[in-house]
Every structure is written in C-alpha cells, then in structure tokens.
Chains A and B, each alone.
Chain A
Amino acid sequence: MEFIRKWLQVIFTFAVNGNWSFPFTRGIYQGPLKVICSPGLNCYSCPASTTYCPIGSLQNLIGGVRLAIENGQHFFGLSVLGGMGVLGGLFGRLICGWMCPFGFVQEMLHKISSKKVKIPRLLNYGKYGVLLVFVVLLPLFMVDDFGSGGPWFCKTLCPAGTLEAGLPLLLLQPHLRSTLGVLFVGKMMVLVLFMVWSVFSSRPFCRVMCPLGAFYGLFSRVRLVRMQLDKQRCTNCEACHAVCPMEVKFNENPNDPECITCMACMSKACKCNAIYVEIGGVPIHAGAKPVESSSADVAVRQGQEG
C-alpha cells in the first residue's frame, strides 16, 4: 500500500506540475488547464504548475470582492470553494496523504536519519487560525486605498510558494532579484523552518500551518472515502499509534481530522484486521491480512452497530 501511495504522490506531483518546458520558456504556464483546481497545495506561480492553487485563488477572490461588486461582478470565490468542497466531501484529508506535492516533500525529508520528535497536539489547531485569519479575514478586511485585499497567506507564510515559485523564478528571471525584500526573507525563514522541522517531525507544515489541510479536515466525519474501526475486532493494542505519521490515535478517534488516510495503520500495524476503508458506508477493504471472519461479517456487524 505504501508503495502505491508513494507512486501516486509522484504522479500527482508531476501531473499538477506538467509544464516541463519552463527551463526554456522561463515563464509560467498560461494554458487552459489553469482553470483546474489543484487538489493539494501547489503554487500557481510555480513555472511548472498547470493547475491553480485553491488557497491562492480563494484569497485573491475574497480580497477582490469589493472591486468586483463595484464593477457589477459577483465574484465571491464560490467556484473555488465549491471545487474544494467537492474534493473535501469525496476524499477529505486523503488528498494530503496521496496527492499533495508539499506533503510529499515533507515525507521525503522525514526519511533522513535523525532523532524523531513528536509535535504537541495543541499546535494542530494553528492551521485553523491560519485558515480563518490569513485566508479569509485579512484579505477581506486589510484592504488598500483601492479596496483590494492581498493574499496574506501566500505573501507572508506559504513555504510551498517560496519553494515552488519564488526560488525557481529568481533563478529563471534574474531581473526579479531586484524586488527581494523583507517579505522574501521572512518567507525563506518559514521555508527553512519547516524543511528542517520535517527532518525531525513528520509533516509539521500539514499539521501546524496548512490552511488547505485545515479545510479538508472539516470534512473528516462526512467525507465519502474514509477509514473506520471495527470495535469488536480491535484489541486496543495501540499498534496503530506507533505507525501513524500524523500521531493519530486511530482506535480512540477513527474520524480524527488529522487522519490523512495513508493506511499505514491498516497495512502495517493492525494484526486484527480491525481497520478498513469504507466508501459511503460500504466497507471495501477489511485489512490486508486474512482472518477467520470474512469481510462480509464486518459489513454485517457494521450495519448492526449503525
């Protein structure tokens, strides 16, 4: 399962960054595919990007809402919000685990041999604050003389933008180097912080700061594809705790908003086949290892519990 997931992460990373001619054109992709929403956090100013970043677009539309209304346009970010909602309703944070390029980068960094450190659970709430303040409130209320708000998250925090867009564009377009200032220094510090932190802790940006992860986390209870626990089979051995990259205690809360559905608990840890994937209430995979009961039994018991 882990092998498949890794390959899908690679495929999605290259799929949303499919403009491989950028070293020659030295610009960004401007084709029709840019009306497609990237499921994961992927800066649309990245020279290779062929999709738009939902968080970047949402901030720009929220920031420009006053000007749009003045011009008789009704741009409230509904299409972006709707697109994110469809993805969240279908997959929730499964996207973080399987499709997000920046999550993939952090996972690769975490493979570097070092002492591993846990992240205090309290810090997980930080991303909800980032979503509310930097993506919604600041673009909406901190406006310039023309009534236009800025993309505050992208501008001040987003390390994906610095890594995927800022640094490559500085290399490709030397005239941009004259625009470097305090903002870029601050963003570089955020990038370095999370790159280094990723070596010691698993996916720190996803857990502490990512507004897209926070948004998808809101769908943890209602998403179509999710993992569930058969409480009758679970022995509370807590083996699932040890393998979870998000430090989720799956046997205590199967619908934890931090769960990225990487399925490590199901395929690597659980010896009792107590963890399974369900789609819309229908179990489709009752664990990797055979046990005496069949998957149909699990479904029947699930129905009786429900």
Chain B
Amino acid sequence: MAHDATHDHHDDHHGAPSNFFVRWCMSTNHKDIGTLYLVFSLLMFFIGGSFAMVIRAELFKPGLQLVQPYFFNEMTTMHALVMIFGAVMPAFVGLGNWMIPLMIGAPDMALPRMNNLSFWILPFAFALLLSTLFLPGGGPAGGWTMYPPLSLQGDSVAYLVFAVHLMGISSIMGAINIIATILNMRAPGMDLLKMPVFVWSWLITAFLLIAVMPVLAGAVTMLLTDKYFGTSFFNAAGGGDPVLFQHIFWFFGHPEVYIMILPAFGLVSEIIPTFARKPIFGYKAMVFAIASIAFLSFIVWAHHMFAVGLPLGGEIFFMYATMLIAVPTGVKVFNWVSTMWGGSMTFETPMLFAIAFVILFTIGGFSGLMLALAPADFQYHDSYFVVAHFHYVLVTGAIFAIIAGTYYWLPKWTGHMYSEFWGKMHFWNSVVWVNVLFFPQHFLGLAGMPRRIPDYNVAFANFNMISSIGGFLFGASQLIFVGVIIHAVWFSKKKALDRVWEGAKGLEWTVPSPAPFHTFELPPVIHDEELAHGHVED
C-alpha cells in the first residue's frame, strides 16, 4: 500500500508558508496552484454567467429591451471566451493539478515554477480581455470564432489577440507540465495501463493542447498583422482568403471541443465506479476510446463550415469522419452504463451529477450527429439548434463533470464533508433548470431562429421566455454550489475519512484528509489491489 510514504508526513498539515503573499502568489505547490486555478475558474464562471444573464434578459421578450445590439454582440463574444478559456479549461487544469500527482504517486508536478507561471498569466490575460468592455470603442463583438473581416472591426483587436496569446502560452506550458509529470513522475509500479482514467484523459488532452493551441496563436497573429500591419492573409481585396481563417481556426477549434470534454470523460470514469462499487467496465477500451476520439478530432474540422461552400467530396469526407466519432463515444457511454449495471449503487451528489452527465451529454451527442449530416446542416447552421447542441455538450457535459469532480474530491481537499442535503438541492435545481434553459432552444433553432441576435420574430417569443426563466434559475442555482463550498471549507464540522467514499480506489485515497501540503515525497510502495486498475489483463 502507499501508506509507507504518506504516513511519514501525516502531521504535516501545516507545512504551507504562513505568509499569504508567499503562499498564494509564489506557490510552487501543486495543491495550492490547483486551488488557485479552481477559484479563478469559479470566478470566471460567474463573470461569464453574468454575461449570459444579460443575453437571456434581452431575449426574454421580442424587441430591444435592455441593451444596444453592439453590446449584445459583445456579451455573446465575451461569454464564450470567458467560459471556454476562463472557466472550463482552468477548472480542468485545476483538477489535474490537484489530483494527477496524488493519483500517480508523484510529490508534485514536474515543473513547479512553470506551473506557477502558467496560472499567474491567466488573471492578467483576462484583466486585459475584460478591460476592453470599458474602452471607448467597446470590446470584441465578432463572436468567439473571430471570423474576419467582422472581427477586425473595432479597436479591441490587439487586446483580444494579446489576451488569446497569453491564454495559449499558459495552456501550452500547463500541457507540457502535465505530460512531463505523467511520463516521468509516476511512482515505481504505476504502469501506464494502471493509471486512473482521469490521468489518461488528461495525458491525451495535453497532447491535443500542444498540437492545436499554437495553431490558434498563428491564426490570431495573422489577424493582428491584417489589422495593423497591412498584410492580407484573410483580406480578399489584397489576395487573401477569409475562408482560410475558418480552416485554421477550426483546425484548432474542433480539438478544443475535445480538450473541454475528454477530462470530463475521465472524471466521470472515476466517479461512476466508486458509487457503483464495481471496477470500470472495459478499462482499456475506455482509454483507447479517448485516444480514438482525440485522433478523430483532427480530421473533422470542416463540419463547422458546411455552409461555406466546400467541394462535395470534402463535405462527404467531413460528414462521415464526424459520424465516426459516435463509435468511440458510444463505447464510453455503454461502458459507463455497463459499470452501473448490477452495481451496489448509491446516489451521493457526485454520482447524481455523473449520471446526469451520461444522459444529458448523450443528448448533446445526438444533436451533434444531426448537425454532422451535411445536407441537414444547411438548415441547422447558425441557428439556435447549434446553441442548444453545444450547451448540452459543454454545460451538462463539461461543467456538470467539473461540479461532480469538485463534490467528489472536496472532502479530500478540505478534510470536511460537504452538506449532502444542499449538494442534492444544487443538483436537482441545476438539472431541472438547465433543461428548461436549453431544451426549448432546439425547437427555436428548428423553427429558424438565428443565433447571435438581440431581437427576433414574435413567433419565437414563448420558447425564448421559457428559456430565459430557466437561465435565471439555473444561474441562481449555482449560488448554492458556492454556499456548499464555503460551508465545507470553513464551517463543516463533519470530518472526512482518508478514504472518503466506501467504494473509492486509487492512491489519492491513501493519503490523509485533508491532503497534507507535501505528499509522496518518498515514492509509495504500490500494491495493485489499492489501485482501481491494478489488474488489467492483456
């Protein structure tokens, strides 16, 4: 067991620097940096969420009510940028920072100082991005996809590009750190095919990040030179091609979708076996499915561009390649269901969010299959159907998984149990209102309502009102989450056990709760029965 190493430091709960600035601003400790990432992402979640509230308030009724159309466009653009780069990605990096070293028996991340830099770049990047809202010319309003020439209008292009560069540098450094940690810092005996699925999912995600973030950096660099240095990469009048931007952007953009969902797959693959009290069904298949999805994500980018006028052969290729992703994704969904089948299931909050993930993410997957059909996409393209689709994938997919992971490991981080009652209140409110928010958007899209508009035909009024009510209440429900976290960190009296959940397996549960400041300074002696996947058959 791993106790040999960890128990040496059983009393080392207070090894952290006492000076607040030194501890949090100069930290090289993976747990503290993980906490910083998670707190930052929660803050960004609420900032991005407040932009969504503006959008839903404006769309509550037809006509222009609250904001000017340009400001509305700023809100849709900033909502996406903040949620993608500020909330979802940093949340997964935070979870990875906290848990990967604990799960593989490493004392810390491989590059602790770079880890600190990766995090501290982010607040500056987002301060820069959000500051544009207060500039005289306003912030970026051309959508998060930044298509030229639309995105080149306005004076905030340089701010946006520099902010995206900073986020990209942060992500690439984070990804290199995670790969270096997993490949080099595993405790002896922690073979690759004994690693938890969450660690596998992060390893594959880090490869994706390194492959595509530089492509985004290249694309926005060319936007910058087109705007300020007289080049014509994307300017047809100067011999360039605006569609070229779309190809380059989506070569980044589609794998980016998987960057936001693969770690979620990993999280759910940890949680379901714990609360079903069974090993995951088809461990190797799960790992290979994640790798297959990652590979396929590189050859499907133009399904975002069916309406741009692709050659027929291109449309057919990208249509079938996209539909192929359903195969490894189906493997994962069936394996999660098979893991639950016949298990001794209990329904604590993390499990409820994980089950909701499986069901609701699958709905998002099905609407994705509909969008993959090139002929049908001509109707769905740029409609609210697309908005409904990707919010099912990203909210009930990625964000539900992040919430599930937070509830799952919160007792390990804080040493205290959260309130199960309020956790369940959070779950039921979230799951009801998120469907009220996004399900009607399918109907709006199929009826022809375009996305990114502040006003609409009265025919769409009822579903928009329902969607907005769902949005306000889903947003309000997330305040319960904050309350549960604050209670667990500072007020909960109920101590967490080392192995917080009865059915939990893996090295992270062999260290005390809360996890000491330093863990696994000496590599643990690993016994396969301690691991969730200690006995994988070849």
Q: Do A and B bind each other?
A: no
Residues on A lying within 8 angstroms of B by beta carbon are none
Residues on B lying within 8 angstroms of A by beta carbon are none
